[in-house]
Structure 1
Amino acid sequence: MTVERSTPKLLAARAGVAERAVQSRHLRRVWGVPGTLLGVAAWPMDWRGHLHLRFNYWWQAHLLDCVVDAQLRSPNEARRQVVRRLVRGVRVRNLVGWTNDFYDDVAWLGLALLRAAKEVGVSRPSAVDAIAARLREGWTDHGGGGIWWKRDDDFKNVPANGPTAIFFARLAEAGGSRSDLVRSRSIVDWMEKALVDPESGLAWDGLHVHPTGEVREVETTIYSYCQGVLLGANLEQARTSTSPVWLDRVERLIRAVDKELAVHGVLRGHGGGDGGLFGGILLRYLAQAAVALPELDPGRAGAARLAADIVFLSAEAVWNNRTVAVSGPLFGPEWTTPAVVPSRERTPESDLSVQLGGWMALEAAALLERHDLRPS
Structure 2
Amino acid sequence: MYRDWAQAAERAIVTRHLRRVWGLPGTVLGRSGWPPTPDQRLHWHWNYWWQAHLLDCLIDAQLRAPEPARAATIQRFVRSILVRNFGQWSNEYYDDMAWLGLALQRIGVSAPLAAILSELRSAWTPDGGGGIWWRKGEKFKNAPSNGPAAILHARVGEVERARDLLAWMERTLVDPDTGLVWDGLRLNDQGSGGELVKAIYTYCQGVFLGACLELSEVDAAARTIRAVAAHCAPGGVLRGQGGGDGGLFAGILARYLALAAKRLPGVEAETARELVLTSAESCFTGAADVHGSPLFSPEWTQPAVTDPVRGPTRDLSVQVGAWLLLEAAATLE
User: What stretches of structure 1 of length at least 5 have no aligned partner?
Assistant: 1-9, 118-122, 173-179, 239-245, 294-299, 370-376
Q: 2:235 matched to which residue of 1?
A: 264
Quick one: distance in 2 between partners of 1:327 and 1:184?
Answer: 44
Q: 2:46 matched to which residue of 1?
A: 55
Q: 1:6 matched to which residue of 2?
A: none
What is the root-mean-square deviation in Å for CA atoms of aligned residues?
1.1
Quick one: distance in 1 between partners of 2:327 and 2:193?
Answer: 39
Distance 1:101 1:327, change over 3 A: farther
Q: Percent identity?
A: 53
Matched, 1:226 2:204: yes
Letter in 2 for 1:266: V
Q: 1:126 matched to which residue of 2?
A: 111
Matched, 1:21 2:12: yes
Is the 1:38–1:86 Cα contact (8 Å) retained in structure 2? Answer: yes
User: Deviation digits for residues 265-311 of structure 1, max 9, x if unmatched?
Assistant: 10111000000000000000000010111xxxxxx321100000000
State the 1:211 CA deviation.
Answer: 3.6
Task: Give the paired residue count.
Answer: 333
Q: 1:278 matched to which residue of 2?
A: 249
Is the 1:207–1:215 Cα contact (8 Å) retained in structure 2? Answer: no
Matched, 1:353 2:331: no
Where 1:111 maps in the other structure, the secondary structure is helix
Where 2:46 maps in the other structure, the secondary structure is coil
Is the 2:139–2:191 Cα contact (8 Å) retained in structure 1? Answer: no
State the 1:104 CA deviation.
Answer: 0.5
State the 1:101 CA deviation.
Answer: 1.0
State the 1:152 CA deviation.
Answer: 1.3
Distance 1:234 1:215, change over 3 A: farther
298, 302, 305: which is aligned to 1:333?
A: 298
State the 1:79 CA deviation.
Answer: 0.8
Q: 1:193 matched to which residue of 2?
A: 171
Quick one: distance in 2 between partners of 1:364 and 1:53?
Answer: 30
Is the 1:67–1:83 Cα contact (8 Å) retained in structure 2? Answer: yes
What does residue range 1-376 of structure 1 map to in structure 2 within 5 Å?
10-117=1-108, 123=109, 125-172=110-157, 180-238=158-216, 246-293=217-264, 300-326=265-291, 328-341=293-306, 343=308, 346-369=310-333
TM-score by length of 2: 0.98
Where 2:58 maps in the other structure, the secondary structure is helix
TM-score by length of 1: 0.87
Is the 1:331–1:339 Cα contact (8 Å) retained in structure 2? Answer: yes
Quick one: distance in 1 between partners of 2:121 and 2:292?
Answer: 42
Is the 2:40–2:46 Cα contact (8 Å) retained in structure 1? Answer: no
State the 1:106 CA deviation.
Answer: 0.4
Is the 2:150–2:211 Cα contact (8 Å) retained in structure 1? Answer: yes
State the 1:327 CA deviation.
Answer: 5.5
User: Deviation digits for residues 143-192 of structure 1, max 9, x if unmatched?
Assistant: 000000001111000000000000101111xxxxxxx2100100000000
User: What stretches of structure 2 of length at least 5 have no aligned partner?
Assistant: none
State the 1:36 CA deviation.
Answer: 1.2
Stretches (4+) displaced over 4 A: none
